[in-house]
Amino acid sequence: MNQNDDKFFMEKAIKEAEKAEAKGETPVGAVIVRDGQIIARGHNLRETKKNALLHAETAAIGKACKKLGGWRLIGCTLYVTLEPCAMCAGAIINARIERVVFGAKDKRFGAMGSVCDLTKMPFNHTPEVVSSLMEEECAAILRRFFRNLREEKRTISGKVPGKRSS
């Protein structure tokens, strides 16, 4: 795929992140592409479904497996707005996804270069990784979400930012 294709599909992942945000979820979105076609989409649903396993990547991987009728996602590229965590990186490796393109780096949980890099471990499959595509756009969605969340908590608690209580 060329860089224009990558950008096009990352924009689709960003749309998935916006769906998550509209539900009050951490705005992370993913799409899985094979032969130039989106075969699965996913976004965070951990809070909505009360399930720690429902990250954008795992949701999309589950749908892709169902659509393709098997667990091997050979020939697929995963586009995701945030660097995959260890759980998702493991699922990507196990599903044999050939290529991962992510936007924002995750300095707290990222397992494809930030905190650790599972793709450098001696597993029997190693996906190609492209990092930081549309990084600013992907990071901006997350910053906005967490800024709004902090403001909402302040409003509920009655605290004014920068003002100490006596």
Q: Which residue has the tokens 């169902």?
A: 66
Q: What is the enclosing helix (H) or strand (E) of 63? A: helix 56-68
Say how far apart CA 143 and CA 27 lie, in whole Å.
10
Q: Which residues are catalytic?
A: 57
Say how far apart CA 63 and CA 71 lie, in whole Å.
10
Residues paired with 112 in a beta bridge = 117
Phi, psi (deg, nearest 5) at residue 6: -60, -45
Helix then strand then coil, % of the chain, to nearest 5 = 45, 20, 40
| Secondary structure class of 152 (helix, strand, coil) | helix
